[in-house]
Structure 1
Amino acid sequence: MSLIDKVKNLFGLASTEEQPIASTSRPGEPVSVAPTSTTTGPPPAAQVREQVMRFIIGKLRAYQNEPDTAPAGIQLSVLCTTPADEELYRVVLWTNQPGKFEAELSRQLADNYITLPKNWQFAYTFFTDTLPDTTYREGNLGLVVVDRSKPDNAPLHARVTALVGQLEQPEYILDSAKKTTFCIGRGRTTQTASGRVRTNDIVILNEEDPSYDSAKGAGNGAVSRAHATIRFDPAQKRYVLLVDPGGLPAGGNKTKLIHPDDSIERADIAGMGYPLQNGDQIELGGEVTLFFELL
C-alpha cells in the first residue's frame, strides 16, 4: 500500500485500490459471480404501443374541440423490415383482439379532447419495402387522415357472385356510398360470442333454406356463420377483406385469396385488412368460392 493510501485509511477515506468482493463460498469452492443483466432486442410491445398512440394523437391535435370536422377514419401504415418487426407490431395493435386498439385509441383521443364520429374507421397495413404516400410520416409509421369536411370522390361499386357454392342472391352489389361493411356468412343471422345478433349481407345458404340446391350448395356447410367481412377503406379508396372468428381456425386455412395472377394469399390474421383486387377469388372453407369485381 502506498503512503498516500495509508494516510487515506488513517482518516477513513476510500482507498484508490479496488476493494475485493467478499466471498460467501467455502475454501476450495468456486466463487460465484452475480450475472449482469442486459437488455437486448426490440422494446416491449406496451412501450411501442404508447409510441404509436402518441404519434396518432399528435397528428390529430388540429381536431381538438372540433367534433364537426373530425376525421371519419385513419389509416396507419407500418414499415416492418423483418418478420420480428411485424410480429412485434401485431402484438402492439392487438391483432388477435379486433377492436381493442381502436377502443383504447378512442379513449386516449377523448382524454385529449379529440372526438371522432361514432362510426369512424381504423385500418392498418404492414409494408416491407417502403411506406406509401401518407398525410403524415414519422420514422417507420405513416398516417392517412380521412377528413370528412372535404368532398368525397365518387362512390366505389363492386359485385360479388358465387363461382362455387350457392348464395341467397345471384349477385350482391356493394355501394360504398350506402354502406361500408358487408358481412359474409352462412345463413342470414347468427349470434356472436358477445350475444349480439349479426346480420349477414352476403348470405351463403343453409341446407334448411327453402331455395337451397343440394347440387349447387354441396360445400356450403364448410362456411362459418360469421366467416368474413368485406369493408370499404375510405383512406385508400378500396375494398378489403377481414377474416372473422369463424374463418380463423386453430389449424389449417379456411380463408384465402386467389389473385388474377394466380398468386394465393392466406387470410389468417385477425383484424388485418387484405386489399381486394378486381377479379379476386375469395375461397371460404375450402369449398365455396366467391368472385369479386369492381364496377
Structure 2
Amino acid sequence: MINFLKRLLTNPTPAPPSGSDAAPAAGNHQPGLSIPATRSRREEIIRFIINALKPYIDEKAHTIAGLRLYVVCTDKEQEEILEVALCTDTPGMFKKDHLERKLVNNFIQLSPDWFFEYHAVKDRLPDYCITHGTMGLEVIRRGQDLVQNYSVARLQVLAGQTEFTEYELNPQKQLKFSIGRTRHPKLSSGKIHTNDIVFWGQDDPQFDAQKAAPNLHVSRNHAYIQYNPQLDKFFLFPDRGGLPENGNKTRIYTIDDKVKSLNVPGVAHELQSGDQIELGGAAILIFTQA
C-alpha cells in the first residue's frame, strides 16, 4: 500500500475539470478535420508544377510570364481544400511564399511581373494543358514576338445598362475579364468578387429601371473571358453564377448562325469576331477582335 501511494504521488492523473478540452475517452473518439490534408495538397501541386516545367530548368532564353493551374474538383470539400492549399484568403501568398521560391531553386526563369492563376473545373481539363491526373498546367512564355502579336478585342453592349457602352480587352493589361452585376458584389460564400465588365445592379446609383431591365437576369459572377497568349485567342467561360444550376444561362449566337450554351464549368467557347454573348436570356454583348 505504501509503495502504491508513492507511485500515485509521483504520477498523479487528475480528472479533467468540467468544460475542459481534454481528449474524449476511448470508444467516443470522433476524428476532426485533417489539417495536414491541405498541406499535402499544396506540396502535391508544387511537385506537379515543377515536374511540368522540367523543360524550362536552366533555360535562360525561355522566361515564364505566367502559369495557370486547372484542378478538377468534383465536390465542395475538394474545392475548399484547394482554396486553403493555395492560400486564397491571402492573395499572392502561394505564388510568392511557396511556389516562386521552389521555382527559383530549380533554376526556372521567371519574368519579374509573372502571374499565377488557378481554376477549379468540374469534370475535364482544357485540351491545351500539361496534365497529370486531375491537374493541368498552362504555361505562358514571355517573348518579344509574343508580346507584339497580342490581339486586342472589344465588347459592345447591345442590351443592358453597363458602366461603359464598349469595353477594350487588352491582353497587355490583363488576361482575364470578369462579367457580372455590380462592380464588387458579395457572393453567397461571403467572398467579395470584382467584375471588369459591369452591369449595374439595383443598389447602384447609376441603375435605370428601364435601361437596366436585362441586368436583373445577370448574375453577380456570370462569366469571364480569358485570353490565351499561346493561341492568340479569347475564350468565354461560364462563371459559377452563370450556370443553369444557379438559375442562369450563358449562351452564344455565333457568327455562322449557330447557338451554343455554356452549361459545364471549365468548358469554354472560342470567341470569333461577331459572336453575340447572351447572359440570362436578356443582356447581350457583341465580341469583335482586331
With structure 1 as the length reference, what TM-score do the two structures score?
A: 0.58
Are the counterparts in 2 of residues 74 and 235 from structure 1 also a CA contact under 8 Å? Answer: no
Mapped pair 1:148 → 2:137: no
Q: In structure 2, do the counterparts of structure 1 residues 265 and 211 end up closer, same or farther at CA, with 3 Å as the change threshold?
A: same
Measure the CA separation in 1 of the matches of 2:169 and 2:249.
23
Question: Match of 1:23?
Answer: none
Greater C-alpha Rg: 1
- Alignment-derived partner of residue 31 in structure 2: none
Q: Which AA in structure 1 matches 2:185?
A: T
Q: Select the structure that is richer in helix.
A: 2
Post-superposition shift, 1:199? 2.2
Shift of residue 225, structure 1, vs aligned partner: 1.2
Q: 2 CA distance for matches of 1:176 and 1:98?
A: 30
Q: Go from structure 1 to structure 2 and tell me whether the alpha carbon gap of 1:213 and 1:191 turns closer, same or farther (over 3 Å shift).
A: closer
- How far the C-alpha of 1:259 sits from its partner, in A, is 0.8
Name the counterpart of 1:245. 240
Does residue 173 of the first structure (1) align with residue 173 of the second (2)? no
Partner of residue 119, structure 1: 115
Q: How does 1:38-117 map to 2 (within 5 A)?
A: 58-64=51-57, 70-73=63-66, 97=79, 100=82
CA distance in 2, matches of 1:204, 1:282: 14
Amino acid at match of 1:180: L
User: Counterpart of 2:15?
Assistant: none
State the identity %. 34
SS at the partner of 1:62?
A: helix
**TM-score, structure 2 normalization:** 0.59
4+ aligned runs moved over 6 Å, structure 1:
52-56, 65-68, 106-112, 122-127
Question: Structure 1 residues 193 and 119 mapped into 2: Cα distance closer, same or farther (>3 Å)?
Answer: farther
* C-alpha displacement of 1:241: 1.4
Pick the aligned partner of 1:219 from 203, 214, 223: 214
Give 1:198's aligned residue: 193
Q: Cα distance, 1:251 vs. partner?
A: 6.5
Q: Distance in 2 between matches of 1:177 and 1:150?
A: 12
Q: Give 1:240 shift.
A: 1.2
Coordinate RMSD, CA, aligned:
4.5
Counterpart mapping for 1:252-267 below 5 A: 254-267=249-262
Tell whether the 8 Å contact from 1:231 to 1:239 is kept in structure 2 after alignment.
yes
Instruction: State the Cα distance separating 1:282 from its structure 2 match.
Output: 0.9
Structure 1 residues 66 and 215: alpha-carbon distance in aligned structure 2, compared to 1, 3 A threshold:
same
Alignment: residue pair count: 227
Contact 1:156–1:176 under 8 Å retained in 2: yes
